[in-house]
Structure 1
């Protein structure tokens, strides 16, 4: 089983990698749906708790708008500041939210591309324990005298 500390370390490394590849990304975080910051690469003085709570609230509101007005699921919500930059909230499935802050000079196509890649990698990291539990459960099926449908006959 993958330790929580290892997953948090790997998520933090992903965020730093994204900021290193895209120079106009100034900060990023991965936040749980209830607003807990799981990993971050934020400037000094940033209140992580406040960022987490606001991010979860905004994405929840975006989900409601998408469901009621667009008959679908939210993929991303973003806020554009007046000449100051952007805050992007990208859903990482049901597991978390990728929060990305980019300055006004950011090339949005590059930011979107990197956020999509990082969100996919973060989702894999967050789901590792679930996959391990499923594999462990499937290994115990033959002990019950049942045939494991995943194994070849």
Structure 2
């Protein structure tokens, strides 16, 4: 008999898969578009609640900018600093995926893995 995984277990497994594919990531989390954390693997004492709220807010602002400029549906956005970046991906209409990277991360691989992860999250939510 096969046990059915809960939604939470599936989301946690999705983050684990992303972290396995890209072990250099500093953190990743899944949140609702309202900014509530659902699953996280942030590490180093980072407050997942704050990151979830900020990522959802940033995604909402990004969507408004895209709407204003007529740029179509927002898929992702980034915030860059000297010591790393945060990439924020829309996960359907209900979710947000935030990924924290070190400088010099392979962006092609990151976007491929994170977009697949965001799609999986959207399907789960």
**Greater Cα radius of gyration, structure 1 or 2:** 1
Higher relative contact order (CA 8 A, sep 6+): 2
Count residues with an aligned counterpart: 122
Instruction: Give the TM-score taking structure 2 as reference length.
Output: 0.91
Q: How does 1:4-153 map to 2 (within 5 A)?
A: 6-82=6-82, 84-126=83-125
Deviations, residues 32-83 of structure 1 (Å, cap 9, x unaligned): 010000111111411121111111111111000000013422111101112x
Gaps of 5+ in 1: 127-153
Q: Find the residue that maps to 2:26 and give its secondary structure.
A: strand
| Preserved CA contact (<8 Å) 2:92 2:119 | no
**Is the Cα–Cα contact under 8 Å of residues 25 and 101 in structure 2 kept in the other structure?**
yes
Question: 1:105, 1:71 → 2: CA distance?
Answer: 27
User: Structure 2, unaligned stretches of length 5 or more?
Assistant: none
Higher mean Cα deviation, 67-76 or 113-122?
67-76
Does the CA-based 8 Å contact 1:78-1:87 persist in structure 2? Answer: yes
Q: Is the 8 A contact 2:93 2:122 kept in 1?
A: no
Cα RMSD for the two superposed structures: 1.6
TM-score of the pair, normalised by structure 1 = 0.75
Report which of the two has the higher share of helix: 1
